[in-house]
Amino acid sequence: MRLQRGITKPALVYIHSDTCHVCRAFLENLSKYADLKRAMERFVVIKVDFNRERLLAMNFGATGTPEFHILNPDGSPLEINGKRLVYIGYSSTPDNEVARRSLISFFDLAVERFGDISR
């Protein structure tokens, strides 16, 4: 996968499913909480439906939903110490502050790492 030229921020591949109750809880939180929305705005967001685009999802190594994969603008996985930056899961219930803060921390780490390697 190659992203558009001139992109200066990392990509967030959000693998989801309409039938996933955890994905619905995440989307509900995304619509409610400005901190989560701001955290995601730092990425080029690419949504991949696990049921409809299974082969594409599996190319990222997806095993279920939701999963959040971070890519460089050239489409390569963003890595730390040879490990891809991937966040698997969320919370099965909306308004879970611990889950929300944990995902935001993951996004913060990805943006920080991206900044380190893009300089």
Give residue-wise pLDDT tens across range 10-51: 999 999 999 999 999 999 999 999 999 999 999 999 999 999
Quote the CA–CA distance of 5 and 2 in Å, as a whole number.
9
User: What pLDDT band is residue 75 in, cutting at 50, 70 and 90?
Assistant: confident
Inter-residue contact 22 to 90 (CB < 8 Å): yes
Write down the pLDDT at residue 5: 58
Instruction: Set out the domains of the chain in order of their start, with CATH numbers.
Output: 8-17+24-78 (3.40.30.10)
Task: For the chain, give the number of residues.
Answer: 119
Write down the pLDDT at residue 8: 77
Q: What is the DSSP letter of 40?
A: H
Work out the average pLDDT over 42-64: 94
pLDDT at residue 7 is higher than 70: no
pLDDT at residue 2 is higher than 50: no
Quickly list H helices, the chain: 21-32, 34-40, 54-59, 97-118
Two structure tokens written together for 73: 């603008």
